[in-house]
Amino acid sequence: MNLLNTYCNQAGYPIQIEKTLHELSLDDANSVNVFTSEYKDLNSISMDSIAQNVVARIHFGGPPRKDVAPASVDSFLIDSNGYWYFIEFKNQYISSKKVKEDCVKKSYANVFWLFKILDEMQRKQLFSFDAYSSCTTEISPFEFVKKYCKFILVIGKDKVDNELNRIREAKKAKMTMPDSCRFLRKLESYVFKSADVYSADQFDREFVKKFRYS
């Protein structure tokens, strides 16, 4: 949080990048929050805010512009075990083509521009990947993503269907995942340490309730 606030301030665009998961889960088109917690809420970093209000303005100038901003997930968290979470909320069925395309596009783009920022901060000696790693030798950004970064897709409770349940059951049983989540398997194979999907209720119970900050 402090590092990214420093980056925004140094770029000349001091903005509020901290929001709750509830706030970040807003489906603008339908004015519905995908995530409402029974247990607790978490303060998180808004990737959209940084992409639209800082990154886009650095490269295109002028006011914040969503149309030219790089793709970004909704939320970013780091837990007490040192894992980095890229979290996307969707108020759509997992079988939706848009869900799959958005997750892939946002994952690749967000990792790229965030790590570009971190590389810039590392050159200024304000950040080090090694400091966030348990490795005894120097670790590259690409190795860091594969070892420590995780992707989570959260589906709104009104969009839970049999397909989502089959995916979750297959994951628990360590069985081959259905074709409908092939995009998650690709993200896990090519980019992240893991890529998972939860319903909003499962996310609240299995992730948020147990989460501890670093």
Kindly report, residue by residue over 117-164, the tens digit of the pLDDT. 999 999 999 999 888 888 777 889 999 999 999 999 999 999 988 888
Distance CA 157, CA 159 (A): 5
Residues 25, 16: contact at Cβ < 8 Å?
no
27 pLDDT more than 80: yes
Work out the angle between the directed axes of helices 97-123 and 182-190 (0-180°, nearest 10). Answer: 20
Distance CA 195, CA 177 (A): 12
108 vs 95: which has the higher pLDDT: 108
The residue type of 123 is: R
pLDDT confidence bin for 172, thresholds 50/70/90? confident
177 pLDDT more than 80: no
In what side-by-side order are the strands of the sheet with 194-199? Answer: 18-20, 43-46, 75-78, 84-90, 149-155, 194-199
The residue type of 32 is: V
In the chain, the percentage of residues whose pLDDT exceeds 70 is 100
- Two tokens, residue 57: 């303005």
What's the confidence (pLDDT) of residue 130? 87
Distance CA 135, CA 156 (A): 37
Q: How confident is the prediction for the chain on average, in pLDDT? A: 93
What's the confidence (pLDDT) of residue 83? 97
Span 32-74, pLDDT tens digits = 999 999 999 999 999 999 999 999 999 998 888 889 999 999 9
pLDDT confidence bin for 175, thresholds 50/70/90? confident
27 vs 137: which has the higher pLDDT: 27
- The tally of CA atoms less than 13 A away on the side-chain side of residue 166 is 11
Helices (H), the chain: 2-10, 21-24, 47-50, 56-60, 97-123, 141-148, 162-172, 182-190, 200-202
pLDDT confidence bin for 95, thresholds 50/70/90? confident
Neighbours of 77 (CB within 10 A): 21
pLDDT confidence bin for 113, thresholds 50/70/90? very high
Q: How many residues does the chain have?
A: 214
